[in-house]
Structure 1
Amino acid sequence: MYTLINDKLEISVKKTGAELCKITSIKNKTDFMWHADPDVWGGYAPNLFPVIGALKANTYYFEDKKYELPKHGFVRHNEDVMLHEQTENSLTFKLISNALLLKKYPFKFEFYITYTLTNNSITVNHTIKNIDTKTMYFSVGGHPAFKCPVYENENYEDYFLEFESVENSKRHMINMENGLISTETEPVFNNSNKIHLTHDLFHEDALVFKDLKSRTVTLKSSKNGPILSVNYTGFPYLGIWAKPNGNYVCIEPWLGIADSVTTNQNLKEKEGILSLAANKTFKAAYNIEIHNSHLV
């Protein structure tokens, strides 16, 4: 476990998977992250690479060869992730391709994730380097789970997500049998910017959005006001998810998306896939800001 502390927040990151697992107020000891109860959902904030969500039959094809990858890829739960650099206010972890990974993913890469603690916010920066001689194809994203409710005098239903812009986006439904994006959509907003949280909201899996105008969403309590905000500028897809019995909500910025039920499984043609030329570097970051009113 690795820790960063300033005068407002303490954060911790597990070596395994480089997973952010704690955001706590220094002054009042309030916790803002889900505690990863294994009886409900044992994750804190998995890092998603080189795919997001499920592949059809856990399989894809690249240059007519078949490969298999688990849901969300191979960074989460990975014990080969190593601490690369630590400064007073940042932690950088790395995962480098190896012979085992090349059997699942035929690209030589370096994956870095940096957590930077500044004042009352945490920036999560992803850096992917293509060290191969060919173009690589990938997706990358986050899956942070935030405690909800935060305080003992609250219920889950006291919470809502407020987006910075009025939205009319529809959710893209997930096929519950295989985890793939179906052809069906369902209205979520009606010229509104709020999603009220209930446990029933997630009975049909995550809310998946492809066309939100907003780049920031705030988790708010009707009793205690704004708790935290996530800025996902540069991430075209957003997932909102929890286990139906879980007292948390995941706000998931994605560069990529699960396979659709109509996929041809060709990695180059996968929806949302990114391409990176040989010897080039890609970067993307999202930000978590804890509102100061909860840090005093």
Structure 2
Amino acid sequence: MSVKLENDSITVVISEMGAELVRVTNKESGLEYMWEADPNFWGRHAPNLFPIVGRLKGDRYKYRDKTYFMAQHGFARDNEFDLVEKTANTARFRLVDNDESFSIYPFHFQFDVLYRLTEQDTLGIAYVVTNTDTHDIYFSVGGHPGFRAPLEAGEKFTDYYINVEPQRKYNRAKLVGPYLDNNLESTFDTRIPLRLRRDDYKDDAIILRLDQNPVSIVLAKLSESHGVTMHIQNAKYVGIWTPYAKEAPFVAIEPWWGIADTVDADGELRHKYGINTLAPAQTFTGSYSLTFF
């Protein structure tokens, strides 16, 4: 099933499967902003990543002397959430642990994804993780929304650009295959807007370290006639990605509170690079918003 939010400007559709944002449509222009999940390129719209972001070495980890297996980006995106709150402008979806999740992630948790239309063209998204266990839990969380580029017929991928504010040099994390290699970290200068070119994604995503500092990222046509701005409040990283070899007509902008295993990871969940620790009865919130124009 799906849930609809709308105001005078935009219509938003969210699937209960994965609490995934699947459509954002401008009522006046008819523009559809979200990637349509064509499986020939990438069969998802905007998956929510929990309780890991990226890939574990060997798709496994150790906790309390036991080995667990978990696929890339975790299991939340492939589970149906419960709709626990709904108004005209707000929808809150919830996933809690069960026997199946406990077999691969041995923690009791509550994971809420909250969508809120805050202004005419702005959708706020929040991830709220609550520790319902009696001991610390370890997790990562993140978003993976894909946006159509180009947005209109007759346009080209290269007609679009990305701009990151504040404009400065960011530390850029590098992957070797699916794993993080901190020895290869470099800098990435955003003082010049990034024109969309497929060669920039030959080695996977452009990953910037944000260190929980707020940033705004614009994906727009060169004429700035239409596009989307992501305002990230407190994420550790952002990934910018499109499949290199497939000439896919979309770009994903991904706020992350966590990242893939490092190439030298020892497999212990408590040692995992970028992991978050949450004490019993405590709550973590990560948030971002999308403004469509």
Q: Is the pair's TM-score, using the shorter chain for normalization, greater than 0.5? A: yes
CA contact (8 A) 1:199 1:246 kept: no
Q: Residue type matched to 2:275 in 1?
A: I
- Secondary structure of the residue that 2:18 maps to in structure 1? helix
**Identity across the alignment (%):** 33
Question: 1:257 is matched with which residue: 232, 256, 259?
Answer: 259
Report the CA distance between 1:51 and its aligned residue: 0.4
Residues 108, 132 of structure 1: 8 Å contact kept: yes
For residue 110 of structure 1, what is the aligned residue in structure 2? Answer: 110
Contact map agreement 1:55 1:69 (CA 8 A) in 2 = yes
User: Which digits, 9 at most, give the CA deviation of each residue in 1:26-83, with x for residues without a partner?
Assistant: 112111111111111011000000100000001111222211111000111213x221
Shift in alpha-carbon separation, 1:61–1:193, aligned structure 2, 3 A: farther
| TM-score normalised by structure 1 residue count | 0.92
Q: In the alignment, what sits opposite 2:92?
A: 92
Could you tell me which amino acid in structure 1 is paired with residue 180 of structure 2?
I
Any conservation in 2 of the 1:232–1:286 contact (CA below 8 Å)?
yes
- Higher mean Cα deviation, 200-209 or 47-56? 200-209
Equivalent positions of 1:115-264 (< 5 A) are: 115-118=115-118, 119-176=120-177, 179-182=178-181, 183-189=183-189, 192-211=191-210, 215-225=215-225, 227-244=227-244, 245-264=247-266
What is the TM-score of this pair, normalised by structure 2? 0.93
Which stretches in structure 2 are left out of the alignment for 5+ residues? none
Looking at structure 1, the residues matched to 113 and 165 of structure 2 have their Cα atoms a distance apart, in angstroms, of: 27
Residue 227 of structure 1 deviates from its aligned partner by 1.6
Q: Give the deviation of 1:220 after TM superposition.
A: 2.1
**Aligned position for 1:271:** 273
- Kindly provide the amino acid, as one letter, of the partner of residue 103 in structure 2: K
CA contact (8 A) 2:83 2:94 kept: yes
1:83 and 2:83 matched: yes
| C-alpha RMSD over aligned residues | 1.6
Alpha carbons 2:214, 2:231 under 8 Å: kept: no
Find the counterpart in structure 2 of residue 28 from structure 1: 29
CA offsets 1:154-194 (integer angstroms, 9 cap, x no match) = 21111111111222224322222xx11123235542x6242
- Residues 100 and 10 of structure 1: CA distance in aligned 2, closer, same or farther (over 3 Å): same
What is the number of equivalent residue pairs in this alignment?
Answer: 287
State the one-letter code of the partner of 2:264. T
| 1:61 and 2:81 matched | no
Q: Secondary structure at the match of 1:169?
A: strand
SS at match of 2:166: strand
Whether contact under 8 Å (2:214, 2:234) holds in the other structure is: no
Q: Deviations over 1:83-139 (max 9, x none)?
A: 122111111111110111111111101111011112211111111111110010111
The answer as to whether partners of 1:218 and 1:226 remain within 8 angstroms in 2 is no
* Cα 1:89/1:204, change in 2 over 3 Å: same
